[in-house]
Chains A and B, each alone.
Chain A
């Protein structure tokens, strides 16, 4: 089945540590996105990429980095510069045009 796989489902980060969240899709979608969700709130855009080797900052990019070396993969690194990283992170993809977005099942990141 085609879809988006995010891993791990749960991740614990120590203070000062960088961690990388994985997002892989086999839908052949051109565009991929990372969103952050805090409890009881909507989703906020961190980074997005419309083609391989290109990406743009979203509304809350500070403290995060991404890469898009392959069409299928869009990993997100939460750096030590992100002071409040505890949240639910969702990856999505879209073929563009008149089609909706598909989301992965998310990664819950907790700072310990």
Chain B
């Protein structure tokens, strides 16, 4: 089956710090996406990033498809960045989205 693995599982930061979250995925995965789940459970799509680099404000993401990994960068973190960050990929044979286990981020004031 397809594999989507995230690291680290937990991350605690002071406000203003930068961080990098990693997602490794197997050969049968493509169309990588990053999501943020807030403390109320709402999942927000941050990036659709099959390859290359995208930026949105303090967040940016890079996917190197040939090496099967993606990175999410958070700069100048704020307390509102807290929550769980998921990466997810689609199977090459269809449109099923498989999620990693997530990175729990806590940003302290």
Contacts and interface: CB of A to CB of B under 8 A. Distances in A.
Interface of A: 31, 33, 35, 37, 41-45, 48, 50, 58, 88, 90, 92, 94, 96, 98-103, 105-106, 108
A101 B33 contact: yes
A84 B31 CA distance: 32
A103 B99 CA distance: 13
Contacts, number: 54
Contact of A31 (B35, B42, B95): B95
B86 A100 contact: no
Contacts of A37: 41
Tell me the dominant secondary structure on chain A's binding face: strand
B42 A103 contact: yes
Interface string B24-62: 000000010101000011111101101000000000000
A100 B44 CA distance: 10
B99 A100 contact: no
B103 to A, nearest CB: 11
A98 B47 CA distance: 11
B81 interface: no
Contact of B95 (A44, A48, A103, A106): A48
6 contacts: A42-B100, A90-B43, A98-B31, A100-B45, A101-B97, A108-B41
Given A90-B41, A94-B95, 7 more contacts: A37-B41, A41-B102, A42-B99, A42-B100, A92-B43, A94-B97, A98-B50
A99 B86 CA distance: 17
A5 B67 CA distance: 38
B15 interface: no
Given A99-B48, A101-B45, A45 B95 contact: no
B31 A33 contact: no
A15 to B, nearest CB: 25
A43 B41 contact: no
A14 B8 CA distance: 38
A109 B99 CA distance: 21
Nearest to A45: B96
